[in-house]
Structures are given as structure tokens and as C-alpha cells.
Amino acid sequence: MRLLRGALDVACMIVALTGASHAQAKPEVRHVLFIYSHKASAPGLVAFVRQLQAVVGRQYPNAEMYEEHLDNSGLPNPTQPAQLTSRLVEKYRGVRLDAILVEGTPGLRFVVEHLRGEFPGVPVVYGGAFEPIVDFASLPADVVGRRHPLPFASTFRMARALQPDAQRVVVVGGATPTDSLLIKEAQRQITPLLVGVQLEVYQDWTYEGLIDSLRHLPPRTFVLLSDFSKDQSGVRRFVPGDLVASLTRVASVPVYGIARNWVGDGIVGGGVMDFGDDGARTAMLLVRVLKRHPGDPMPASEVAANELLIDWRQLQRWELPESRVPAGTEVLFRPVSPWTRYRGEIIAGFALFLVESVLIALLLHERSQRRRAQRMVEEQRAQVEHMGRVATLNGLAAAVSHELRQPLAAIRTNAEAGVRLLGRNPPDVHEARLALQDIASDDARAGEVVEHYRALLRQQPPVSTDVDMNAVCRNAAKLVSSEVAVRRAHLELRLDPDIAKVRGDPVQLQQVVINLALNALEAISTSAPTREVAIRTTRNNGSVEVRVSDSGAGLPPELLDRFFEPFFTTKQHGLGMGMTIARTIVERHHGSIGATNSVTGGAVLTVTLPAVPRG
């Protein structure tokens, strides 16, 4: 058993170590020979290579790419392909190539005709190749890639749509054999479309002569740029992407082209070949080829779909109506309006503004409603207070009658005495004068009584003045004196002569004292053997206190907190508004009112008002 267990442990260790070695194995390295047909600095090739490397790098980050440039060979004679082939075979003799990648039509022809046979079994992937320079139908089975149909016809149709009155088209190309093949293809595609348009070809030119020709082209003409690598002299070599900007800048007529990277350098637009997209899709084909298992078929070749592009700025430059742009054309460099660029932000901001406006409107409406309700409450409160004063005066009707009866009786007596004194012979003028003076004095007294009650009844806005609460208590005591007499009670005033004044409405404050006094008289009218009511004024830490106490039975403790609530009353026929009115008036004067029971019996109602600081 021990031997078996040991063997199992060793086996487990071997399996674990084997798994760890596999887990730590590096990704498989692929070796690709990359043949360039054009200068690496050409804008179209830069876009092609950038996209190709990005796609391949994601799939094979450790791939080895060996780059060779046909453009740098410098061998002008027919022996160049053979010499270049020998050099490449010698250079890569010890490298196990997984694929040969070719950019451009010249490189594809070189690889198929010369290099492929030196590396048997190595698949070839191409991109950036043009029809009809290569007969793609006759390519071997292990040669796949992407080819571009040359878009001369679609570019011509776009130019005719934008310039329907054009009478001449000038096709500009270079002097190399490849340039000549492209010129012939342009003529083949455009000739059937020449209806009322004359075709001219500028191929045998020098750079200076071409610039001068383009500067003096007549109206109703447009230029179509083909590929151009050399001028007439054959000495100066060009990268078309670098030459386009200088040509379009001096041209007197609109210029169109067949490469996407030319859009933005001054051409109006065209049916263009997108070399960046071609690089990405060629890389996908290469990845599929590298992932094949032995014996698997090669992926199918692809034909690129050229797209229609227009530079909006050139439409403005040549005053070409955008309404003539062919359907399906993508317009580049159109200024983005703030609405297009910030549509989401604008909609969100407008929605926020709308919501805030609605909220503000609702708040303003609520505020208006609240103010209206407050005004209604104030009006109703004023009416209730007025009704309370009327009800109070109704209870004081006997006092009014009593107070007016005495001065009116005195006026009558003095008037009758005056008549008798003046009727003497001789008239007693001195005594009659004294009687008339008494009449005037009694009349003034009656007027004061009437005015006092009128002030109590009058419904007018409250005033704010310095009020002597001692005087208020005296006047209140005088108004309830007849009620005191009817109830056979005793009313005592205990007024502090040194109290400060308070700020408020004297009539309203007098109503408070009257309500408290009448409430005290009601409390002692039935149950108290000794019917006493006291009105006191005292000072208390910057405040003035008015206390109205009685000798009644007091208030039940459970009712003390409800004593000043609306419609709460302990009287059989009471309305429950007198104490509520008193509390409202006191609180309006920034004071407080409370009810307690005295230790000696009876209730004590206390009003506390802020005193006016003494100057």
C-alpha cells in the first residue's frame, strides 16, 4: 500500500508539473514576410499599415514581421526582379515563414511571378491591389487577398451630378507603366459616360507645367486625379497624397479623386478607396490564414466596396449645391451645429428648465394661495374679534346705560336750574353760568363714555403705540363696574406704578383685560361664597404681566391646556371664543397668555407682554 501511495503521489506531481509547464508556455510566434510596393510615408499606406498591425497585434502579439520595400530597390533594368529575388531568398533562408503579406499591385505581381516559387508551401495574402492590373482570376489557390475595383466611373458620375453643365473632364495621371495602366482603365470606364463632355488626359507633364495648366483651366471643367508616381522627365518621383494639396490649391476648377485619404486635402470628393479599412480587412484574412490547420482550404478572396465621399468645405468653395449630392454619399467636414453636437445636453437642460419652471410656478401659486388664505384668516379673525367685542358690549349694556344715566340726569338738572336762575328778577347770571359750566362738563363726560365704547366696537386696522397697561386696566375696570355691581362682587386693582409701557393697540389690549375680567366674574357668580376679582400689574425681567384672579373654584387640571382653544367653554351658553380672541390678540403683540390655579383657590389668568425699553 505504501508503494502504491508513493507512486500515485509521484504521478500527481508529474501531472501538475506538466500542466504548469503548459500554462507557462509562451504564445506561438508567427513569422510573416511583408512586401511593400510603395513608400512607407505615403498617406494611404500609413493608414493601411496602422490598421493591419492593430488587428494582427491583437491576435498574435509576438508575431515577427519582416519588412521589405520594392520601392527602394533602385534597379531599373529587367534583371531587377531576379536580383531582388536572390537577395530575399538568401536573407530569409533560415527563417520558417508562415505567410508572405503583400501590399500593392506591383508587389503582388513580383511575388506571384518570382518569389513564391522560392518559398514553396508558404501562403500569400495581398491587399491594396487594383483591378485590372492583375488578372485575379488566374492567381494560384494559395494566393488570397482583397482587391479594389478602380472607382473612376462612380467618381465621374458624382462630378456630373454636382456640375451638370460641365463640358470638359481632365484626367491627370503619371508617367510610369502602372500610371499608364490606370489612365487606360479611367478612359475605359469614363468613355461610355461622355455625353456632351470632352475628355482630355494630362499625362506627359512636368510638375511646373501641370501647375500652370490647372491654374488656367476654363469654366465648366472638372479634374479627375488618377495615380501619379513620376512626371514626364521620369526624374522626379511623387507620392500622390503629398501632391494633391498643391494641385487642388491652384486649380481654377473643382478637382475629384479616387482615394479616401485625398478627401480633406482639397478634392471635392469621389468614389474612393479606403486604404485604412482595406488594411484592417486584409489583416483579418491574414489571421485566418495563420490559424489554418494543415490541409484546410484557404479563405476566399474579397472585393472591396468603394464608398462615395464629399468634402463639405469644397462644396462651399466651388458653390456647388448640396442638394445635388448623390444619394448614399457621406459628407465630411460639415460644421456641427450646437444642436447636433450638444443635443442631449440641450434636451436635458431644457427639460430641467421646464421642470424648474413648473416647480416655480407651482410654488408661486402655492404662495399666492397661502397669502390669500392668510388674508382670509386675518379677515375672519378680525371679524371674530369684532363679534367678540360686540358680544362683550352686549354683556356690558347695563354698564353703558348706568354710566350715561348719571351725566344725562345731571345735564337735565343743571339745565332746569339754569332756566329758573335766569327767570329771576333780576336774573342770577353768576349761578346760571355755573349751571351751564356743569352742563358742559357732564356733556363731555357722556361723550367720553360714548367714544370709549365706540372705540371698543369700531372695526378698524390695529394701531401700534406705547400703551400704559395701568391705564388700560383702569378703563377696563370702569367698563365692567356695572357687571361687578350686578353680580354683587368686589373688583380690586393692584397696579404697579413703576411698570414700563408696552407696544401695541390699546383698544385690543383693553378687550383682553375685559374678557379676562368677565370670565372671572362668570366663574364666581354661582359657586363662590366670597366673590372677589383682582387685576394686578407687575414687572418681570423686561416684561409686563397682567394677572386676573378670582375666588372661584378654579379650573380642572385636565382642562388647563385646552382653556384657550377655539370653541372650548365651561359655560352653559358660552361660544368658546372669548379666550381664543384674547390669546390671538396677545400673540399678535408678541406676548403669551396662560391659565393656572392659585394655591389659595380660584383661577389665575396671566398675560405677559414685552416691555418697551426705557430711554
* Per-residue pLDDT reduced to its tens digit, 291-311: 999 889 999 999 999 999 999
pLDDT tens by residue, 345-360: 888 888 989 999 999 9
Sign of CA dihedral 327, 330, 333, 334: positive
Tell which residue, 110, 31, 96, 35, has the closest CA to residue 68: 35
Is residue 563 scored above 80 in pLDDT? no
User: Rounded CA gap, 531 and 521, in Å?
Assistant: 8
b/e 515-549 (16+ beta carbons within 10 angstroms → b): bbbbbbbbbbbeebeebbbbbbbeeeeebbbbbbb
Alpha carbon of residue 359 to chain centroid: 15
Which pLDDT does position 2 carry in this prediction?
A: 45
pTM for the full model? 0.55
pLDDT confidence tier of residue 68, bands split at 50, 70 and 90: very high
Beta-carbon contacts of 33 under 8 Å, excluding residues fewer than 6 positions away, are 66, 68, 88, 92, 95, 97, 99, 100, 101
Least confident segment among 111-125, 174-188, 195-209, 404-418: 404-418
Which pLDDT does position 286 carry in this prediction?
A: 96
Helix locations, 60-167, DSSP H: 80-91, 105-110, 152-162
SS3 605: strand
Q: Which amino acid is at 378?
A: E
Which pLDDT does position 106 carry in this prediction?
A: 87
Least confident segment among 54-68, 428-442, 531-545, 568-582: 568-582
User: Rounded CA gap, 218 and 211, in Å?
Assistant: 14
Sign of CA dihedral 151, 153, 158, 162: positive
User: Rounded CA gap, 131 and 136, in Å?
Assistant: 8
User: Rounded CA gap, 396 and 515, in Å?
Assistant: 11
Beta-carbon contacts of 168 under 8 Å, excluding residues fewer than 6 positions away, are 197, 198, 199, 200, 218, 220, 221, 222
Is residue 380 scored above 90 in pLDDT? no
Across residues 180-201, what is the average pLDDT? 94
Is residue 443 scored above 90 in pLDDT? no
pLDDT tens by residue, 109-158: 999 999 999 999 999 999 999 877 788 989 999 999 999 899 999 999 99
Residue 600 carries which DSSP code? T
Q: What percent of the chain has pLDDT over 90?
A: 44
